[in-house]
Amino acid sequence: MMHSWRQALWALLLLVSVAQAQFNFFEHMFRGDQQQEQASGPQDAASDSSRYQKNWNGVSCSKYTCPGTLACVHFPHHCPCPHPDVEEKIELGEGSAVCVSKGGYKAGEAARKIELARKGLL
């Protein structure tokens, strides 16, 4: 009788440990996803312009404040591009300029395409 009682106890302990391991697995699996989402990086910025407005109001410039970069320049067409590594500034004349994605592998490719478009050839 003592032998069957021990077997029953071992069976019960084995069943409890298997159930515990199973719950730990699922809990870790689901909680791990949440922790990875939280640790994956900063959250998206809000869709309003409050952060931009705060920075805009903090700029001190007696000339012209560039809306894209908040740089202080003498004239609007002197504004730098916000992403100079991937953008080219193209002066259109009459004191205006645009920033466009760098085009192709040759220097000046974006300016060439804009000029072709201005002439209606593109």
**65-110 per-position pLDDT tens digit:** 999 999 999 999 899 999 999 888 888 888 888 898 887 677 778 8
Domain borders along the chain are 76-122
| Residue 28 contacts residue 20 (beta carbons within 8 Å) | no
What separation in angstroms does the CA of 14 have from each of 1, 4, 28, 114, 118?
20, 15, 21, 75, 79
Confidence (pLDDT) at 10: 58
Q: Are 67 and 81 in contact (CB under 8 A)?
A: no
Torsion of CA 31, 37, 39, 40, to 10 degrees: 150
Q: Which pTM value belongs to this model?
A: 0.53
Place of tokens 């920033």: 99
Above pLDDT 90, what percent of the chain?
19
Of the listed ranges 17-31, 35-49, 107-121, the one predicted with least confidence: 17-31
Q: Which residue, among 92, 95, 98, has the nearest Cα to 118 in the 3D structure?
A: 92
Cβ-proximal residues to 66 (8 Å cutoff; 6+ apart), any chain: 72, 73, 76, 79, 80
